[in-house]
Amino acid sequence: MSRIGNKLITIPEKVEVLIKDMTISVKGPKGELATTIVDDRITFEINDGILTFSRTSEDKVVKSLHGLYRSLVANNIEGVLEGYSKTLTLVGVGHRVSMKGNDLEILCGFSHPVLFKKVENIKYEVPDQNTIIVSGIDKALVGEVSANIRAIKPPEPYKGKGIRYKDEYVRRKAGKAAVTAGA
């Protein structure tokens, strides 16, 4: 039984949900998103401002898709209402970031600055030279762009230098000198 798929989605007043064929369009104050249901064994309907999802089969694949589509539409509703953001920090001497037009210019220990191009529907903020805030209405796109920025220079385990999420814990390792001194 899909517990997530059976949860009801209450549609807020500021959000408008339209169903056309197998596409659920969500329009709100921050923008518009759409999700297409590709499996006809998943059905959905709106009654009195509540969106419900149901399935016609008990197959394992259908059960997982039931929860998936419900989560995708719920994320779209929250995104057009409030939006999503992720904060990244640069750790290390000489590591810094700045805006160059609409793009990010990242200095993170390479011999050259890395230019990260602007992604459509994503907004970058640089409150200080060691912080990047990635925000937008699509949860998956915000997460993907944040992961791509982090992949430029992931945090290394010996000194912790690199680009990391704000609340990420980097497990530190003892260096070669510390290991041989303890033996």
Domains located in the chain, CATH noted: 3-81 (3.90.930.12), 84-165 (3.90.930.12)
pLDDT tens, N- to C-terminus, the chain (183 residues): 458 888 999 999 999 999 998 899 999 999 999 999 988 899 989 999 999 999 998 899 998 999 999 999 999 999 999 999 999 999 999 999 999 999 999 999 999 999 999 999 999 999 999 999 999 999 999 999 999 999 999 999 999 999 999 999 999 998 887 777 766
CA-nearest of 86, 83, 80, 109 to 96 is 109
Q: Is 166 left (phi over 0), alpha (psi -120 to 50) or beta?
A: alpha
Model pTM? 0.89
